[in-house]
Amino acid sequence: MTSYYKFSAKILCIIVLATLLLQCIDRKRDNPFDPDGNSKDILSLSLTPGTDRVTLDWRLLEFLDRFDGFRIYRSVDTQENFQPFVDLATDQFSFTDTNIDQKRWYYYRVVATSNNEETSPSNTARSFLGPGSYWVLETDGFSVKQLSYDLLNVTRTYRTTLAPLEWAFIDTDSLIWLANERFSRSLSSINRDNGNIRYYYPDSVISTRDVEINTETRDIYILDNRDAKILVFRNGSIRNIVYMDPTEDYLKMVYRESDGRLLVLGEKRLWSFNSDALSGASVTIPFPAGMEGKDFDLSGNTMYILAASSEDSQSLIYTVNGSTVTDSLRSANFFYRMRFDAINQHFYLAESLSGNDKIVQLSFNGDRLDHSSGYGDVQQIVINPYDRSVIVVDYFFNLLYLYDQQGNFISESRTLDGNKFILGPTRVYVE
C-alpha cells in the first residue's frame, strides 16, 4: 500500500512539473519581444506623402505592458535593405521624414523595442514622391477620390449618391461639376475642399452624357444624349437649349477657352459652337463613311480628332487649325483613345487588341513605338504637366498606371499585397 502511495505521488509531481513547464513555454511564446515566439501583428503603419516629405502614423494592435519605445526602419529604392532610421518615445505615434528626394522609392516599417529586443515589424508602407496629385472619378465606386503622385495613397474620398459619369474642373474654382448616371435627369456639384455635394434636377434634362464649364461666364453646359441636345444651366435653371442631329450618338464635350468655342464629338462628325450665343449655328467636321469619332484633344487653337473603324482596323487623325482641316495621319490599326503630347510632338494612342490593349506612341510621320500593354479598357490617357509623366486609366481592370516621360513603369493603384482600391475609374485630373 505504501508503494502505491509513493508511486501516485511521483506521478502527481511529474504532472505538476509538466504543467509548469508548459506554462513557461506558453508565456515565452506570448512575449511579443521573443524572436522565436509570438509572430502575430503588433503594429499597423500608414503614411501620408507630401511634395517633399512623408508623414508616418502607426498604432498598436494589442496592448504592450512594458516597452522602451518605437524604432522606424527605412529602405531606399528597394525593399531589400531596411536599416534602423530613428528611435522614438513610447508616446510618439507619428513621424515626418523630410530627408527624402523626389522620384525615389522609400519603404518604411516600425517596431516596438524593449531591452534591445524588438516586436515583429509592422506592415511595409512605401512612397514615391513627385509633382502634383490626382483627382479620380470612380463611376462604379460612386465617389471622387484624391490620390498621391505614386497612385498608392488615398488622401480624400467623397461619396456620391448617384454614379458619376463625367466631370468638369476649373483650376481657380473649388467646385467639381458632375454628369450623373444616365436617365437620372441630374447633375451635381461637389466641393473638393470639404466634400459638400449638391444635386440639381433641371427641367428638360433626361440623360446627361457630359458636362462643361464656361470659364468666363461660369455657365454650365450639359450634353444630353437622349435628345441630342446641349443645355445651358445658370443659377439653378436652364437658360438655353441647342438641338443636334438625333440620329447621332454623342461622346464628349469640351469648352475651348482660347476662342470660346464649345466642341462636341459625335460618332459621325465633330460639332463646334460659338458658346456666347449657342444659337444653333455651328461648324461641323464630318468623318468618312465607315469611320466613327472616338476622341479628340486640344493644343492651343489646334485640335486633333481621332476617327476609326473597328471593322476595317483603320484609324485617321485630323489636324484642325482654324477653318483648315488636314488629314494628318492614317494607320492600319484600330485606335480608340488619344492624347497629344505638345512638348514631345507625338500622340499617345490606345489600340484595341481584344483584352490585351496597348498604348503606343505615334509621330506625325507615322513612326510607331510601343509604350505599354495589357489593358482591358482605356478610358483616358493623361499627361502630368509638371513632369510629363503619363497616367493610363483602365476601367476594366480597375487600375491606374503611372509611367515616367521615357515610358518606364513607376507604379499602379494597387497595394503591396496586390489589393485594388479603385472601382470603375473613368477620369483623372492632375492638380
Over the stretch 271-319, which tens digit does the pLDDT of each residue have? 999 887 676 568 899 999 999 999 999 998 899 999 999 999 999 999 9
What superfamily would CATH give domain 43-128? Immunoglobulins (2.60.40.10)
pLDDT tens by residue, 113-137: 999 899 999 999 999 999 999 999 9
What is the average per-residue pLDDT within 25-46?
67
Task: pLDDT band for 32, please (50, 70, 90 cuts).
Answer: confident
Residue 46 corresponds to which amino acid?
Answer: S
What are the CA-CA distances from residue 394 to residues 98, 130, 172, 297 (Å)? 33, 21, 28, 19
Task: Answer yes or no: are the C-beta atoms of 38 and 118 closer than 8 Å.
Answer: no
Phi-psi region of 369 (alpha: psi -120 to 50; beta: other; left: phi over 0): beta
Architecture of domain 134-430: 7 Propeller (2.130)
Position with higher pLDDT, 92 vs 23:
92
pLDDT bucket at 179, cuts 50 / 70 / 90: very high
pLDDT tens per residue, range 238-274: 999 999 999 999 999 999 988 889 999 999 999 999 8
Query: Taking a C-beta distance cutoff of 8 angstroms, is the pair 295, 287 a contact?
Result: no
Q: How far apart are CA 8 and CA 31, in angstroms?
A: 35
Task: Please give the average per-residue pLDDT across 217-232, as a whole number.
Answer: 94
The answer, yes or no, to whether residue 4 has pLDDT greater than 60, is no
3-state SS record for the chain: CHHHHHHHHHHHHHHHHHHHHHHHHHHHHCCCCCCCCCCCCCEEEEEEECCCCEEEEEEECCCCCCCCEEEEEEEECCCCCCEEEEEECCCCCEEEECCCCCCCEEEEEEEEEECCEECCCCCCEEEECCCCCEEEEECCCCEEEEECCCCCCEEEEEECCCCEEEEECCCCCCEEEEEECCCCCCEEEEECCCCCEEEECCCCCCCEEEEEECCCCCCEEEEECCCCEEEEEECCEEEEEEECCCCCCEEEEEEECCCCEEEEEECCEEEEEECCCCCCCEEEEECCCCCEEEEEEEECCEEEEEEEECCCCEEEEEEEECCEEEEEEEECCCEEEEEEECCCCEEEEEECCCCCEEEEEEECCCCEEEEEEEECCEEEEEECCCCCCEEEEECCCCEEEEECCCCCEEEECECCCCCECCCCEEEEEEC
Sign of CA dihedral 127, 143, 132, 383: positive
Q: What's the pTM? A: 0.89
Record the cell numbers describing residue 214, joined without a space.
Answer: 464656361
User: Residues with Cβ < 8 Å from 290, sequence gap 6 or more?
Assistant: 309, 311, 312
Q: Strand pairing partners for 261?
A: 256, 274
Domain boundaries, the chain: 1-27, 43-128, 134-430
Distance from C-alpha of 44 to C-alpha of 61, rounded to nearest angstrom: 7
Of residues 376 and 301, the one with the higher pLDDT is: 376
